[in-house]
Amino acid sequence: MRARLILLGVLSMCSMCFSQECNTEFLENVDFPGTDKQVLFSPDAAHCQHLCTQYSACQFFTFVRSDWTRDKRHFYCYLKSTPTGQPNRRTPLRGVTSGFSLKPCSPAPQPCLSKVYQNIDFLGADYQTFFTADYEGCQRACTQDPSCQFFTFVNNVFTPENIRNKCHLKFSWSIPQTPVVEATAGVVSGFSHKTQMSQMSDTACQGKLFPNTATQGNFIQSLPTAIAEHCLSLCSAHPSCTFFTFHSENFTCNLKNNQNEMVLRAQAGATSGIPERFCQLDTNWAKVPLDGIDFRSSVIRYVLMDDAETCQRTCTEDVNCQFYTYVHSSFHNSEYWRRCYLKRTITMPSPPKIAKLSNVVSGFTLRNCQGVV
Ligand SMILES: *[C@@H]1O[C@H](CO)[C@@H](O)[C@H](O)[C@H]1NC(C)=O
């Protein structure tokens, strides 16, 4: 019964089942009112359009620009969708820019975000700070550090004086997460064979797992994963993760931080491990289908087909797809048989909050820009 209710939720998202046209235009001072699915922050309409492209349920967006005067909602990026895929209404509104998801346009998985933003603060998500001579030095540090997705630099006329020239390196997830993982009979899930689960490097590495072993305390973040190897990839991508414990009975990946000690103890069903950095992790595990596992939510669209292998291939061939769930005809409800759900989460740099602030400069890593690094 529970699984049926869940799949009904997925069914209602089938608004996105049909394909759309590639429409790259920005509509200045036009609002697409209502039908919001999510609100995130963006420094400009172009970033908001990329967020819409990467957010599974987004088909079009409205962005509130810095020249908006009615209230303080600057930099809000409203991600929207409708059953038709088109906005219900288009109304004139000063201070906003609207546009469409680039999903139908074969987008780059990690777009180059080379603009810097004067007098705009990317708040939160800090993992390291130090002083640099200018914002370019801060941006270079961000680009060189695989964990850094964006930065904020405090310039040399900022008040108070004691934090002038301070460079804040900041983190957001750049490898796919699986927001909901559940054991469900009659379904199989897996990843796109092109999904980037590790940083790119010439040096290969394996990571270290301790089977039937748990760690206590030192908790920083809990994420759903189906297997310990995905937990290892997430820990390796997170700048503060020093070790982790994965619990197979509830598909929980606990990221931990303790730079001084790691106390292991025997526990059946738990797997602990140590992250690998500055190398390309072995991600062959991501090619193995997971029987009886449902990656719920995050649906871009579904297509009908006869087997899970075709579903896996369809996901790999779709640049927007990071992971999939296929429903076999052994699933208890025949309404869902043969459905191949294609799914994704946001992996581009995404600041948790953005606001105006005099005498700071913010921007993104240039790792995704060609010819840099
Ligand atoms: C998952 O299971 C482990 C081991 O039983 C437990 O310690 C942990 O609190 C559980 N986590 C969640 C989120 O339920």
User: 122 and 362 in contact (C-beta within 8 Å)?
Assistant: yes
Which superfamily does 117-173+348-369 belong to?
Hepatocyte Growth Factor (3.50.4.10)
Closest ligand 1 atom to 249 CA: 2
The answer, as to whether pTM is greater than 0.75, is yes
Which of the listed residues 222, 245, 249, 250 should we mutate to test ligand 1's pocket, taking the one with most ligand atoms within 8 A of CB?
Answer: 250
Closest ligand 1 atom to 267 CA: 4
Distance from C-alpha of 3 to C-alpha of 182, rounded to nearest angstrom:
9
For 68-114, what is each residue's pLDDT tens digit?
A: 999 999 999 999 999 999 999 999 999 999 999 999 999 988 999 99
Task: Give me ligand 1 centre to Cα 252, in Å.
Answer: 7
| Strand, helix or coil for residue 198 | coil
Would you give the distance in Å from CA 280 to the centre of its chain? 19
Residue 14 has pLDDT above 70, yes or no: no
Task: Give me ligand 1 centre to Cα 166, in Å.
Answer: 39
Distance from C-alpha of 338 to C-alpha of 331, rounded to nearest angstrom:
10
pLDDT at 53: 98
Whose Cα sits closest to atom 7 in ligand 1?
247
pLDDT at 17: 45
Whose Cα sits closest to atom 1 in ligand 1?
250
Reported as a pLDDT band with limits 50, 70 and 90, residue 19 is low
- Start-end of CATH 3.50.4.10 domains in the chain: 15-105, 117-173+348-369, 180-343
Closest ligand 1 atom to 269 CA: 4
Whose Cα sits closest to atom 6 in ligand 1?
247
Go through 212-244 and write b for each residue having 16 or more CB atoms within 10 A of its CB, e for each that does not. ebbbeebeeeebbbbbbbbbbbbbbbbbebbbb
Closest ligand 1 atom to 270 CA: 4
Task: Give me ligand 1 centre to Cα 370, in Å.
Answer: 43
- Percentage of residues in the chain having pLDDT higher than 90: 89
Mean confidence (pLDDT) of the chain: 93
Reported as a pLDDT band with limits 50, 70 and 90, residue 201 is confident
Which of the listed residues 216, 252, 265, 271 should we mutate to test ligand 1's pocket, taking the one with most ligand atoms within 8 A of CB?
Answer: 252
Task: Give me ligand 1 centre to Cα 215, in Å.
Answer: 12
For ligand 1, residues with CB inside 6 Å are 222, 247, 249-250, 252
Task: Give me ligand 1 centre to Cα 143, in Å.
Answer: 36
Which of the listed residues 223, 247, 254, 267 should we mutate to test ligand 1's pocket, taking the one with most ligand atoms within 8 A of CB?
Answer: 247
Residue 1 has pLDDT above 70, yes or no: no
Dmax (CA) for the chain in angstroms is 67
Would you give the distance in Å from CA 294 to the centre of its chain? 19
DSSP conformation class of 173: -
Arithmetic mean of pLDDT, 39-45: 98
pLDDT at 4: 44
CATH fold for the domain made of 15-105: Hepatocyte Growth Factor (3.50.4)
Which superfamily does 180-343 belong to?
Hepatocyte Growth Factor (3.50.4.10)
For 343-359, what is each residue's pLDDT tens digit?
A: 999 999 999 999 999 99
Quickly list DSSP for 351-362: -SEEEEEEEEEE
Q: What are the E-state strand segments in 65-176?
A: 76-80, 91-100, 116-123, 126-131, 150-154, 166-170
Closest ligand 1 atom to 222 CA: 13
Strands across the sheet with 27-31, in order?
A: 27-31, 91-100, 60-64, 76-80, 36-41
The strand pairing partners of 245, in sequence order, are 254, 272
Whose Cα sits closest to atom 13 in ligand 1?
252
Task: Give me ligand 1 centre to Cα 187, in Å.
Answer: 24
Q: What is the dihedral of CA 321, 40, 110, 80, to 10 degrees?
A: 40
Reported as a pLDDT band with limits 50, 70 and 90, residue 372 is low
User: 280 and 207 in contact (C-beta within 8 Å)?
Assistant: no
Arithmetic mean of pLDDT, 31-45: 98
For 119-176, what is each residue's pLDDT tens digit?
A: 999 999 999 999 999 999 999 999 999 999 999 999 999 999 999 999 999 999 999 9
Task: Give me ligand 1 centre to Cα 45, in Å.
Answer: 41
Whose Cα sits closest to atom 10 in ligand 1?
250
pLDDT at 370: 81
